[in-house]
Amino acid sequence: MTQTFTILLPQTMLAACACLLILGSAFSVRPRRWGGLALAAVAASALCLAYVSSFSADDWAPDAASSVLVDSISIGYQWMCLGLAALFVLLSHEQAATKTSAEFYALLLFMFSGMMLVGSANELILIFLSLELISVPTYVLLYLGRRDPRSQEAALKYFLLSVLSAAVLLYGFSLLYGLAGTTNLDVIRNILAETYSKSDSAQVAAGGSVLGMVALVLIFAGLGFKVAAVPFHFYAPDVYQGTSAYNAGLLAIIPKAAGLVALIRVASETMVGFETSGERVALILAGITMTGGNCLGLLQSNIRRMLAYSSIAHAGYMLIGVAVGFWDSWNGDLSLDAAGGLPGGVGASLLYLFTYSLATVGLFGVLVYLARPGGRQIEHIDDLTGLVRTHPVMATCAALFLFSLAGVPPLPGFWGKLAVFASALSVRGESPGLFVEMHSGFMILAVVGVLNAAVGAVYYLRVVALMFLNDPVSSPQPSGGKPAFAAVCCSAVLLMGVGIFPTPLFTYLNRGVSQIAPATVRSPAGTLEPRPAAIHGHSVIAVQTQHDR
Amino acid sequence: MSDNALLSLIIFLPTIGALGLMCFNAKAEEAMRNFALVITAATFVLTLLLLGRFDPAQAGVQLKVLAEWIPNWNVNYFLGVDGISLPLVLLTSLISLLGMLASWSVKKQIRGYLILYLLLETGMLGVFLALDFFLFYVFWEVMLLPMYFLIGIWGGPRREYAAIKFFLYTLAGSVLMLIALLMFYFGSGADRTFDLIRLAEIGQGRVPGVQFSEFVQITAFILLFIGFAIKVPVFPFHTWLPDAHVEAPTPISMILAGVLLKMGGYGILRVAFPICPVGAQYAAYCLVLLGVISILYGAFAAMAQTDFKRLVAYSSVSHMGYVLLGIAVWKLADPNLGTTAGAEYWESGINAAMFQMLAHGISSAGMFFMVGVIYDRVHHRDLNQFGGLMGLMPEYGGLAVGIFFAGLGLPGLCGFIGEVFSVLSAWNYSPLLAILSAAGVILTAGYILWAVQRVYLGPEYKGPHREDITPMNGREASVGYVLLAFAIILGVYPESMFGLMRETNKQLVVNMTEGYENSKKNAPKVSAVTPDLGEGVLFDPIAIPANPGAGALAPAIRGR
């Protein structure tokens, strides 16, 4: 039990501080103080995480049935969450300057706690719980801010659809539970691996049993809402447009990151025997999500609506990595390069998530920092016209973020895209045919992906052109306060740093994915056999002491 | 100075200069201009040093620089020069220097302009010196951003449209290049590499056990060719060019026409051809045809223009057609054996194409400069309102007529050599296409003589801003004289450039013919032994492992 608590220390710390904030709000309403406290909570959580990551794999007592896990992905992902949390707390400097400031920060900390919990969860129920820990505060946050009809509508829309998607996801989880008889991911993987190695391989080749396939599709649907994949994206543009830039920034990052990690944990890593169906679903989702997001993004003139479609399109790129992840786990090697150089599909997807989050938090930070004269927030992209004359630093940072999202080297967005496309092109086909070497599906997906990158560049470039090539019509006012300014500059500096020196990131990711041993290896003879238990899954490092239970 | 330092300094001296510009007082415009001029001049001097160290008798890449950049992907900071890149490096630094001299006409936001200009020069030199495909790609994209802002901020009335169009066309081409890059990377054997020399060896079948299949070569060639054809620009992909050239400020037009268009031709010679000999041969007829169409289409379009700058822009489409024509005249004697007919004609075609790139770099930069000089004075470019400038500005008129004649291809000037040799080498390939391309020479003469007549000859100029016409100042005249001098030197003594590139081009032709024969020879043999090697090995781009049974994780047998 103690080890489970140790692993969950960072999340617990955030949640505990959030509770303290809510209690404290009864006694004081001074907003600045709460901001500082929230930042302190993030720092305390970072200390806890540093403590957790100081253990090596051997220090944990192994247990295949643990409800939490530690691996490089979870550690790296949690560091990313804490970094984002710090940036978001800084950005909120003026957002939270109201009577409800303590509640605001408490909700923010709850959300980030849930976001981090997804990375450590090794249980269907824990994953569902952590997703709800993100959703419930989001509903409140959406209501807290503005009170005009439009934001009310956005909040209600998000609430209803989110509840629906939670139900769908839960249904998928319950079917998966029905299939395996347990909620523990490692055990599910073991059981599925055993089942599908014994049954005839024709069924495996066809994509697994019908029950499992239904579960898989429902899980994709439920988590597709979180990552805003087409056709589960309909809420995103309306909600982003209806709410404040700050909330839109949260929505663009937290549910997407948590959904992606949950998808990787539950689907790519766990559902052994369903790789082929998972791969197909992810392939199709990725293709239509990228294309749909980018094409509709072209038509937008509201900046948050445009960024909503951009975030949808980026979810598509991440799904390419997920699709490749299925192929990787079928082939018994999650790392694309056996010699150890490149991240595989899952790693590429997570790298993409990181680069996307970094650029997105910065971009929304610029929108939070700036306001139109009169204090209203930036709505139309024309409000940014000639920004370089009035706010040169903000304009330069915004251009960097936009170019990174467009994937211009050597900014991080490019490395993300490169990793994703590279992972797709590394997949090779089943039989010699027209597309001899490449797997035709992945080859087409990669081509669709790069064409999408060019299409996406159009609307990012339009904003850059407005900011740099036109004379200002109105001059936006800085309304976000100095901390927000600092947060934007921080992300820009980090962006440049990661862009020019991506090596540590690749090295870390490669270590991260190589630590997850998939359940099966495909032997040269073409049969599917379960891995020996000793090197199975997270069990090497997943923990819970024997006397815990 | 060591070779390492020399090549890196050539690329990054402009960047250092750009950083240095940030230290200047924003008011000290003249000082910043002079500083930037000194930096470009120093870069030019460094490239002359490079020329001094280069041994033209040697065919391969010289003065290599190799350092690790991203070890995870096996991306290296790998530079070097050979006979193909060296002349273009010289051209780049020369045109950058002259463009900087012409930049005194740019008035607003000088510091930003100069910084972007110098970054652009870094990008261009990087593209020509990089020998790692990945590095090449990064420089290719790095060059894109300054150019976008230079057109978009300092350009003419429709600058925003032109800048976005330029950016998107180039980006679309480069993402296709990205796919090809990854295809090569994953096909390059167990020790994956972006090294262009190694990739070329693999493509030409000179590395035992690894070979890009015909499918990969053809697909990759088409992807790469579209990317480079946009840059050249070749006929259906050329529509960005008139807009970008017309809207860009004069020095940027000079760079666009003088250097950036050459990147397309260079990319074909450096990347697409050596790595994909089969793809190149597969598409050869199409390439030659597109070249001829570009020549004729560009010439007719130029003839129809009333905007002086647009005419020069379309003349670039036409002139660059000769480059494609010369590069691609690769005729097979026997398609089954893959033997090449008249390799010496093809070699002379490649030489001619290279020469045409250099000649066009000089003449088109000169033509754009001449248009810019008159535009600065009369603020319009309408051909129908010009006339009689020769009488008002005799020095300018003389220089301009000289440079336009160089563009026309008058014997004794630089344009003649490239055009005539590419047409001659095309005769061996297809007499019909050679005749059509020769017709382009006449059309070129037509539109240039007509333009010269409308602008410089005739009764004295009576159009707008008559009173503003002043003689060229010393700075403008020096740019004009230098360009005209180079036009004459190249025209009278073409060996100055042919000597540098001859051995490299000869080697390229030999390698590619061998490469094509190799893949024709290998193809049936490999299929004969396929059953023994097992499924997926036949066309597998990933290394055929020395020991096919080497474990479940060996890449070659991971396919399902």
Looking at residue A198, its pLDDT comes to 55
A225 near B CB under 8 A: no
Q: Which of A95-104, A252-261, A365-374 has the lowest mean pLDDT?
A: A95-104
Domain that holds residue B505: 3-526
Percent of chain B with pLDDT over 90: 38
Region B108-112: mean pLDDT is 85
- Separation of alpha carbons B64 and B326, rounded Å: 28
Contacts of B190 in chain A (CB under 8 A): 339
Count: domains in chain B: 1
- The dihedral region occupied by B62, where left means phi > 0, alpha psi between -120 and 50, and beta the remainder, is beta
- Separation of alpha carbons B374 and B452, rounded Å: 13
Q: Are B349 and B343 in contact (CB under 8 A)?
A: no
Q: Are A115 and A80 in contact (CB under 8 A)?
A: no
- Separation of alpha carbons B500 and B87, rounded Å: 7
Region A209-231: mean pLDDT is 90
Q: Are A345 and A325 in contact (CB under 8 A)?
A: yes
B70 and A502 within 8 Å at the Cβ level: the answer is yes
B182 and A422 within 8 Å at the Cβ level: the answer is yes
Q: Are A192 and A270 in contact (CB under 8 A)?
A: yes
Looking at residue B550, its pLDDT comes to 36
B216 and A457 within 8 Å at the Cβ level: the answer is no
Query: Is B554 domain-assigned?
Result: no
User: Which residues, including other chains, have CB under 8 Å from residue A184's CB and lie 6 or more apart?
Assistant: A65, A66, A67, A122, A123, A124
Count CB-CB contacts under 10 A for residue B191: 12
Which residues are bridge partners to B78 per DSSP? B66
Looking at residue A1, its pLDDT comes to 63
User: Which residues, including other chains, have CB under 8 Å from residue B192's CB and lie 6 or more apart?
Assistant: A337, A341, B73, B74, B185, B186
Query: Is B549 domain-assigned?
Result: no
Q: Are B212 and B184 in contact (CB under 8 A)?
A: yes
The residue of chain B with its CA nearest to that of A458 is B168
Q: Is the peptide bond before B157 cis (omega within 30 degrees of 0)?
A: no
A408 and B72 within 8 Å at the Cβ level: the answer is no
Query: Is B541 domain-assigned?
Result: no
The residue of chain A with its CA nearest to that of B70 is A503
Q: Which of A244-248, A272-276, B43-47, B82-86 has the lowest mean pLDDT?
A: A272-276
pLDDT tens, B459-513? 888 878 888 888 888 888 999 999 999 999 999 998 888 888 888 888 888 888 8
In this predicted structure, the answer to whether residue B559 has a pLDDT above a threshold of 80 is: no
Looking at residue A143, its pLDDT comes to 82
The CA-atom distances, in angstroms, between B409 and each of A195, A483, B312, B497 are 77, 63, 14, 17
Region A458-483: mean pLDDT is 83
Of residues A13 and B70, more confidently modeled: A13
pLDDT tens, A128-185? 999 999 999 999 888 876 678 888 888 888 999 999 999 999 999 999 998 888 888 8
Dig out the tokens for B241 from the structure: 């060019």
CB neighbour class for A361 (10 Å; exposed up to 12, middle 13-18, buried from 19): buried
User: Which residues, including other chains, have CB under 8 Å from residue A92's CB and lie 6 or more apart?
Assistant: A35, A104, A105, A108, A246
Contacts of A439 in chain B (CB under 8 A): 559
Reported ipTM exceeds the 0.85 cut: no
DSSP state of B258: I
Q: Shortest CA distance to B22 belongs to which of B32, B30, B14, B12?
A: B32
In this predicted structure, the answer to whether residue A546 has a pLDDT above a threshold of 90 is: no
Query: Is B40 domain-assigned?
Result: yes
Query: Is B166 domain-assigned?
Result: yes
pLDDT tens, A263-287? 988 888 888 778 888 888 898 999 9
Name the band, by pLDDT with cuts 50, 70 and 90, for residue B523.
low
Query: Is B550 domain-assigned?
Result: no
B552 near A CB under 8 A: yes
Instruction: List the single residue in A418, A439, A454 with the smallest CB-CB distance to B172.
Output: A454
- Separation of alpha carbons A226 and A229, rounded Å: 8
DSSP state of A434: S
User: Which residues, including other chains, have CB under 8 Å from residue A45's CB and lie 6 or more apart?
Assistant: A10, A11, A13, A14, A17, A82, A85, A116
A450 and B178 within 8 Å at the Cβ level: the answer is yes
Query: Is B465 domain-assigned?
Result: yes
Query: Is B552 domain-assigned?
Result: no
Dig out the tokens for B355 from the structure: 């020469």
